[in-house]
């Protein structure tokens, strides 16, 4: 693939977005941008007196979501420091109509190609089943699934510590998160669908099958 890519990955909880993002980044040599990681990194710099970092830390520590204008500025700052010629893959950005509209200005500012939004779709019941099986090492924070090393033993294969179940992986919490996400994503999906920039992927397959579908549909899209 010779085209420089500007990929956006969105999905409800439990769809396996993170795994597919890593596979795509490796396949095409893309620079990965994870908004949550950028926010946490900026929060850690609040002691420098950077006004944006201070504002981010105040909201973060109170559990208040960062407003669209802050997320957009965080993205803008990060892009200014990256080798954009490699192509980019965004993880969970944009996540609102306001962010999507602001992203259009960023695309023009940094001369990025038009975005291709990969929406990995799974049902609520599938998300509940998958996340109900997810386990986490409380020490190193690694995440384990049924096919992960040592999953059956119930212990982390690195730390030797017993797995725990995250509170947000419990069924009632997953169902509420799923409903909230679907409601929030409705306008965003329509926005990108109307711009012919949305590719829907069936996430209820194996990791390998999902990846193959992404590659096939992505190649077909780029041939338009």
For the chain, give every domain's residue range.
6-122+184-222
Residue 205 dihedral angles phi and psi, to the nearest 5° = -135, 180
Confidence bin at 142 (pLDDT 50/70/90): confident
Helix (H) or strand (E) holding 221: helix 207-222
pLDDT of 141 higher than 90: no
CA distance 93 to 33: 9
Give the closest residue to 127 by CA, choosing from 171, 63, 75: 171
E strands, 3-81, in order: 6-10, 31-34
What predicted TM-score, i.e. pTM, was given to this entire model?
A: 0.84
What's the mean pLDDT in 138-163? 86
Provide CATH code, domain 6-122+184-222. Answer: 3.40.50.300
pLDDT digits (tens, 9 = 90+) for 64-91: 889 999 999 999 999 999 988 889 999 9
């Amino acid at each position: 693939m010779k085209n420089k890519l500007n990929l956006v990955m969105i999905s409800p909880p439990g769809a396996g977005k993170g795994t597919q993002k890593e596979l795509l980044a490796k396949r095409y040599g893309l620079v990965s941008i994870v908004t949550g990681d950028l926010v946490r990194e900026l929060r850690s710099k609040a002691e420098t007196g950077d006004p944006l970092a201070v504002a981010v830390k105040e909201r973060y520590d109170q559990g208040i979501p960062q407003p669209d204008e802050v997320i957009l500025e965080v993205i803008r700052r990060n892009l200014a420091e990256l080798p954009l010629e490699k192509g980019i893959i965004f993880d969970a950005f944009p996540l609102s109509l306001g962010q999507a509209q602001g992203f259009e200005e960023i695309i023009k500012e940094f001369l990025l190609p038009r975005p291709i939004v990969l929406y990995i779709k799974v049902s609520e019941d599938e998300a509940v089943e998958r996340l109900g099986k997810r386990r986490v090492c409380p020490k190193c924070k690694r995440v384990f699934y049924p096919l992960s090393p040592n999953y059956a033993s119930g212990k982390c294969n690195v730390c030797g510590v017993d797995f725990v179940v995250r509170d947000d992986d419990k069924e009632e919490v997953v169902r509420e998160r799923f409903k909230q996400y679907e409601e929030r994503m409705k306008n965003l999906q329509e926005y990108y669908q109307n711009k012919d920039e949305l590719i829907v992927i069936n996430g209820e397959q194996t990791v390998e099958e999902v990846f193959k579908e992404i590659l096939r549909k992505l190649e077909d899209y780029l041939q338009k």
